[in-house]
Amino acid sequence: MDYQNRAGSKFGGGGVASSSATNADRRERLRKLALETIDLDKDPYFFKNHVGSFECKLCLTVHQNDGSYLAHTQGRKHQTNLARRAAKEEKEGKAREAQTQGALMPGVQVRRNLIKIGRPGYKVTKIRDPQTRQNGLLFQLNFPDLHGTKPRIRFMNAFEQHVEEPPDKDYQYLVVAAEPYESIAFKIQSREIDRANPNYYTWLDEDSKEFYISLLFKTERDERYGNVPGLAPSGPRR
């Protein structure tokens, strides 16, 4: 092999992967992760029909196997329908809720002259690090009309927000802001995020405009909360 003439590579230096190759790698990794971790029983649109094939109740499509269904959920059609559904639900009188969600992130939401276009479609999946057995969550948000800037995230503890009173110290809020969308907040258990774990990251797929937030909780207190509440913006009531 002629190392000296390899484009973009100095003698002794490692080659640099192009950003598109990196993107493809990452997407492949995410696809595998999704296949390993998506719990189809929790997907409200997943339906196994009487002849053993799989249907998407949102898009009214039929799939021969679960892999094909999963691929479908990551495709444009399904994501568009998710976004459409979210916009429709928004219209149907969720104004108050949207308002409270905006209030969660006052510093971001104050520029009222901006026209907001509704909330993003999203999907939350439980994940588990196969090595460390740590539990975590993978958030996938769909921002097809993102305005240039990358989505921003922020964790807020129960006492930093003023929407849910009195504050419940067992929960924290993951707030995601991306113009021109409404900011949304996910209510999750208030366990410490393991920020040192390589599976803690955010990533924007520039092609599909899908934004991923992957996080794992530290292990110590795992047993104390047998299951994972907060899979939707509003957690269980008490």
Q: Which chain residues interact with Zn ion by CB under 5 A?
A: 56, 58-59, 78
- Tell me the closest approach of the beta carbon of residue 75 to Zn ion, in angstroms: 8
Residue number, 152 or 209, with CB nearest to Zn ion: 209
User: Which residues, other chains included, contact 64 with Cβ-Cβ below 8 Å and sequence gap of 6+?
Assistant: 53, 54
- Tell me the closest approach of the beta carbon of residue 68 to Zn ion, in angstroms: 11
Cα separation of 154 and 166, whole Å? 21
The two beta strands, 61-63 and 121-128, are unpaired
Residue number, 6 or 57, with CB nearest to Zn ion: 57
- Tell me the closest approach of the beta carbon of residue 62 to Zn ion, in angstroms: 11
- The alpha-helical segments, DSSP class H, found in 2-105 are 19-37, 66-73, 76-91, 95-103
Placement of tokens 């503890």 in the chain: 157
Nearest residue to 205 via CA among 151, 155, 159, 165: 151
Residue number, 57 or 150, with CB nearest to Zn ion: 57
- Tell me the closest approach of the beta carbon of residue 84 to Zn ion, in angstroms: 11
- Tell me the closest approach of the beta carbon of residue 81 to Zn ion, in angstroms: 6
Residue number, 78 or 119, with CB nearest to Zn ion: 78
Nearest residue to 188 via CA among 197, 204, 176, 196: 176
- Tell me the closest approach of the beta carbon of residue 101 to Zn ion, in angstroms: 25
Q: What is the enclosing helix (H) or strand (E) of 61?
A: strand 61-63
Nearest residue to 140 via CA among 94, 205, 47, 48: 205
Residue number, 58 or 105, with CB nearest to Zn ion: 58
Residue number, 72 or 191, with CB nearest to Zn ion: 72
